[in-house]
């Protein structure tokens, strides 16, 4: 990648989702490349504060600018900076306006969009399509996402490539001796239980991860194997929590299902170690970094067969792909 590179993000350090994780890893790779090639690299975030980058392990804090939700200041500054760069990378479709403005003022600047999943799968309005077609290249996280971009938006296939997500280089190494006995006690599990795990954000507006289908499947299996436990980890909104509580109660699975809530990164290793299977039969996953994280910690994985999860599991070579609608 040539000379001066600018990476734009919505959030890099102030959130813990998959897109933020990709932004941090991409920032690390681009910074290291700039050092190797004696180039220039800067990463700027619309929502992060400047102090969010202090002591981060991915790249020097001086290569980062955070605008703390000052959207207009961010847009003005990024257009002014972008027209002086060789390449501007947009980490999310919601940054497309900035890329389009840069391209209008400086046609020689290459605009590259990172496409993750559901945000680019469906038809755009005319204005967004025009801005999308101004991109010089789109990097999709999976073949599924690439195919959606080409089929739905008519984007030139030769200008769209696939770069699968990767593990965070700072993910802790799997320990020889795991310390999860305290977790078993915390969740009311035992050593003889078969523990399934899902790690995801639970939202009433994005109910496509498949955890409700897993709960229904456990209800069907309970009489045959009563030691099945299911740990559903991740933040949730009140409406989704109420929905899941009612589902669990209706199926009489209060002793089998635990909604663990948000889990800190440093606690994930032992949660994976405690579990026997990672399962998330999603229908709208762009890729699913969590699948490869679960495999990294030694868990067999079950995923859906209708979205980007297929890439994460190498078409079923690395885990079991299932119909997410079949329980």
The predicted pLDDT at position 172 comes to 84
Is residue 149 within 8 A of residue 155, CB to CB? The reply is yes
In the predicted model, what is the mean pLDDT of residues 152-175? 93
According to the model, what pLDDT value does residue 204 have?
86
Confidence (pLDDT) at 294: 96
Mark residue 65 as left, alpha or beta (left: phi above 0; alpha: psi -120 to 50; beta: remaining). Answer: beta
Q: Looking at 33-37, 127-131, 185-189, 201-205, which range is the least confident one?
A: 201-205
pLDDT at 177 over 60: no
pLDDT for res 94? 98
Backbone angles phi, psi at 160, to 5 degrees: -130, 125
Q: Delimit the CATH 3.40.50.2000 region(s) of the chain.
A: 4-162, 181-322
Averaged over 297-306, what is the pLDDT?
A: 96
Distance CA 85, CA 83 (A): 6
Q: What is the dihedral sign for C-alpha 260, 262, 266, 268?
A: positive
What superfamily would CATH give domain 181-322?
A: Glycogen Phosphorylase B; (3.40.50.2000)
Judge contact between 96 and 132, C-beta under 8 A: yes
Distance of alpha carbon 204 from alpha carbon 239, whole angstroms: 6
Q: Pick the residue with more confidence: 108 or 206?
A: 108
Query: In angstroms, rounded to a whole number, what is the distance separating the alpha carbons of residues 286 and 93?
Result: 14
Task: Name the average pLDDT for the chain.
Answer: 94
Query: pLDDT tens digits, residue range 90-116?
Result: 999 999 999 999 999 999 999 999 999
Q: What does the longest C-alpha to C-alpha distance in the chain come to?
A: 66
Lowest mean pLDDT among 18-27, 225-234, 263-272: 263-272
pLDDT of residue 176: 57
Nearest to 132 by CA among 118, 116, 115, 107: 115
Q: Is the pLDDT of residue 248 over 90?
A: yes
pLDDT computed for residue 2 by the predictor? 59
Lookup result for tokens 């994930």? 268
As a whole number of angstroms, the distance between CA 187 and CA 276 comes to 15
CATH of domain 4-162: 3.40.50.2000
Q: What is the DSSP letter of 298?
A: T
| Cβ neighbours around 59 below 10 Å, total | 23
Query: 99 is written with which tokens?
Result: 């890329």
Give the C-alpha separation, 8 to 130, whole Å. Answer: 20
The pLDDT value recorded for residue 16 is: 84
- What confidence score (pLDDT) does residue 178 get? 63
Alpha carbon distances (Å) from 56 to 50, 80, 165, 229: 12, 26, 20, 37
Q: Does 42 score more than 70 pLDDT?
A: yes
Element holding 211 (H helix, E strand): helix 211-221
When pLDDT is averaged across residues 276-297 and rounded to a whole number, the result is 96
């Amino acid at each position: 990648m040539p000379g001066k590179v600018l990476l734009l993000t919505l959030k890099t350090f102030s959130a813990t989702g998959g897109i933020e994780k990709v932004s941090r890893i991409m920032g690390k790779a681009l910074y290291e490349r700039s050092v190797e090639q004696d180039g220039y690299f800067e990463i700027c975030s619309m929502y992060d504060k400047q102090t969010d980058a202090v002591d981060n392990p991915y790249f020097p804090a001086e290569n980062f600018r955070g605008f703390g939700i000052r959207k207009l200041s961010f847009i003005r500054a990024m257009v002014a900076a972008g027209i002086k760069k060789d390449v501007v990378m947009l980490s999310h479709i919601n940054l497309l306006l900035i890329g389009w403005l840069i391209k209008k003022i400086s046609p020689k600047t290459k605009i590259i969009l990172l496409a993750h999943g559901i945000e680019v799968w469906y038809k755009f309005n005319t204005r967004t399509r025009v801005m999308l077609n101004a991109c010089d290249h789109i990097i999709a996280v999976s073949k599924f996402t690439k195919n959606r971009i080409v089929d739905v938006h008519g984007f030139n296939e030769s200008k769209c490539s696939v770069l699968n997500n990767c593990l965070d280089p700072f993910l802790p190494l799997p320990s020889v001796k795991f310390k999860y006995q305290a977790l078993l006690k915390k969740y009311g599990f035992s050593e003889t239980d078969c523990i399934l795990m899902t790690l995801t954000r639970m939202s009433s507006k994005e109910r496509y991860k498949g955890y409700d289908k897993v709960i229904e499947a456990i209800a069907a299996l309970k009489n045959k194997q009563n030691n099945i436990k299911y740990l559903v980890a991740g933040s949730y909104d009140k409406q989704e929590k109420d929905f899941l509580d009612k589902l669990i109660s209706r199926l009489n699975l209060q002793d089998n299902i635990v909604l663990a809530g948000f889990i800190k990164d440093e606690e994930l290793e032992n949660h994976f170690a405690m579990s026997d299977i990672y399962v998330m039969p999603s229908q709208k996953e762009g890729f699913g970094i969590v699948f490869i994280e679960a495999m990294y910690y030694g868990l067999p994985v079950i995923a859906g067969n209708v979205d980007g999860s297929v890439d994460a599991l190498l078409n079923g070579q690395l885990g079991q792909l299932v119909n997410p609608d079949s329980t």
